[in-house]
């Protein structure tokens, strides 16, 4: 790594106060970014400023303080629309996160378009939040869930797709990047195949939004769901993007204040998009914080900084792809044939070792890594195991931290095996 590159990465780290902490007398090595990323100062400052000074309910009042809160809230919608290249900001719905976004579509879309005997196609690498909402919807409307399988290396079994896209399938809900396997899935091919059968596609973008430039217009996806807290934002905030034609026709998900036109005891008309899907007081401060969060994410992708971040992430991917399988007993999951489709997220299982035990030893070394099923039990079952250990990296993580992780892992396994 050249001096300038190092300087740029150090500048990024300095923006994240949480990284400067120590645990058990060791410098924190935070490797659970796929669960929640840390927040830069710009996001923390906006949260603090709004909580202290601009705390007034949005959209409702005729006084200046409420106007200010509304402006910040709506500015974040514009920022989100621009970040994913949505053609209309009204097609960006604020939710509490990916889970809420997928539940919204599963519930509302199925009520309008899915009936008895129909099918919902999901991908086998799905997080529980792209499985259970569809099961709830399917059982409510008499539909069936079908699954696009994954191969041993974690890639989608695309050869199985044509036979699965039967005329009964009313929607495909697919994972952009799995939180266990860390592979950028061929979503463009999936969307093209589904659209050729007139089937809309929802993408679970919880990890995709962080690691890919998402352009919903170019992708032509029908829905895209993501959470703010994985991309430097606040918890309890997320986005559902949908094409206008679906959002217009789908019934509201929740009823309440702010989502109505006129209300009588006999009949209610609904507000236009996006408010039709934003019943009740939204998490307006968290949602407003999406603007500086996405601004920070854009900064990490642009110019010299973008090049340095990309190079650093590539070096981490190459190092861990080589180092992890060399450790005795370690099996690494999610190795695409084309290595450029691997994000810096590594899930392993060690024969004879409980992933939680390894994570606890790593914690004593200051290393925060995730263990367990990672809300993807069917992925664990696919490989015949009950848990994995995951290290997921963000642009503020360094190659040196990847090396510390490997050293720590070796130490932990020496104690446990």
The catalytic site residues sit at 375
Q: Are strands 370-372 and 388-392 parallel, antiparallel or unpaired?
A: antiparallel
For the record, the structure tokens of 40 come out as 């830069």
Supply the minimum distance, in Å, between the C-beta of residue 376 and ligand PMP. Answer: 8
Identified binder of ligand PMP from the candidate list 184, 206, 285, 367, rule CB under 6 A: 206
Supply the minimum distance, in Å, between the C-beta of residue 186 and ligand PMP. Answer: 16
**Is 287 one of the binding residues for ligand PMP (CB under 6 A)?**
no
**Is 106 one of the binding residues for ligand PMP (CB under 6 A)?**
no
Q: Which segment (37-45, 91-99, 314-322, 393-401) binds ligand PMP by CB under 6 A?
A: 91-99
Supply the minimum distance, in Å, between the C-beta of residue 240 and ligand PMP. Answer: 11
Cβ neighbours around 304 below 10 Å, total: 10
Cα diameter, the chain: 70
Site for ligand PMP in 370-399 (CB under 6 A): 375
**Is 97 one of the binding residues for ligand PMP (CB under 6 A)?**
yes
- The CB-based long-range contact list for 400-405 (8 Å cut-off, 24+ gap) reads 401/29, 401/31, 402/316, 402/319, 402/320, 402/323, 403/319, 404/29, 404/365, 404/367, 405/29, 405/31, 405/320, 405/362, 405/367, 405/369
**Is 98 one of the binding residues for ligand PMP (CB under 6 A)?**
yes
Q: Alpha-carbon distance 6 to 270, whole Å?
A: 53
**Is 207 one of the binding residues for ligand PMP (CB under 6 A)?**
yes
Specify the residue, 34 or 323, whose C-beta has the smaller distance to ligand PMP: 34
Q: Which residues contact 160 (CB under 8 A, 6 or more apart)?
A: 148, 149
**Is 127 one of the binding residues for ligand PMP (CB under 6 A)?**
yes
Contact 94, 274 (CB under 8 A): yes
For the record, the structure tokens of 313 come out as 């992430």
Site for ligand PMP in 20-79 (CB under 6 A): 34-35
Contact 89, 335 (CB under 8 A): no
Supply the minimum distance, in Å, between the C-beta of residue 365 and ligand PMP. Answer: 24
Supply the minimum distance, in Å, between the C-beta of residue 266 and ligand PMP. Answer: 37
Binding site for ligand PMP (CB under 6 A): 34-35, 97-99, 127, 129-130, 175, 179, 204, 206-207, 227, 375
């Amino acid at each position: 790594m050249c001096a300038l590159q190092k300087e740029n990465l150090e500048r990024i780290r300095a923006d994240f106060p949480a990284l400067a902490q120590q645990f058990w007398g060791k410098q924190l090595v935070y490797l659970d970014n796929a669960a929640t990323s840390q927040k830069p100062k710009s996001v923390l400052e906006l949260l603090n400023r709004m909580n202290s000074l601009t705390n007034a309910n949005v959209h409702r009042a005729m006084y200046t303080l409420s106007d200010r809160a509304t402006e910040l809230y709506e500015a974040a919608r514009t920022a989100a629309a621009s970040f994913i290249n949505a053609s209309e900001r009204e097609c960006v719905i604020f939710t509490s996160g990916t889970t809420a976004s997928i539940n919204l579509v599963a519930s509302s879309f199925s009520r309008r378009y899915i009936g008895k005997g129909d099918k919902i196609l999901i991908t086998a690498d799905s997080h529980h939040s792209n499985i259970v909402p569809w099961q709830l919807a399917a059982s409510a409307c008499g539909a069936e869930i079908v699954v696009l399988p994954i191969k041993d290396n974690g890639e989608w079994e695309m050869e199985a797709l044509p036979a699965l896209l039967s005329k009964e399938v009313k929607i495909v809900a697919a994972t952009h990047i799995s939180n266990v396997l860390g592979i950028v899935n061929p979503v463009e091919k999936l969307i093209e195949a589904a659209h050729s059968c007139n089937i809309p596609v929802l993408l679970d973008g919880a990890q995709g939004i962080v690691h890919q430039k998402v352009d919903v217009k170019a992708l032509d996806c029908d829905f895209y769901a993501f959470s703010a807290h994985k991309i430097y934002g606040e918890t309890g905030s997320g986005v559902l993007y949908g094409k206008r034609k679906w959002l217009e026709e789908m019934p509201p998900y929740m009823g309440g204040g702010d989502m109505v036109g006129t209300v009588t005891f006999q009949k209610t008309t609904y507000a236009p998009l996006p408010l039709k899907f934003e019943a009740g007081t939204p998490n307006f401060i968290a949602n407003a914080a999406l603007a500086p969060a996405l601004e920070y994410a854009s900064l990490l992708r642009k110019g010299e900084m973008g090049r340095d971040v990309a190079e650093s992430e590539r070096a981490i991917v190459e190092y861990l792809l080589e180092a992890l399988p060399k450790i005795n007993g370690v099996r690494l999951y999610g190795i695409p044939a084309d290595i450029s489709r691997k994000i810096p997220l590594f899930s392993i299982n060690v024969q004879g070792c409980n992933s939680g035990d390894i994570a606890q030893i790593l914690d004593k070394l200051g290393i925060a890594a995730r263990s367990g099923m990672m809300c993807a039990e069917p992925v664990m079952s696919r490989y015949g195991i009950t848990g994995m250990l995951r290290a997921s990296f963000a642009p503020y993580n360094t190659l040196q931290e990847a090396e510390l992780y490997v050293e720590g892992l070796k130490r932990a396994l020496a104690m446990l095996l």
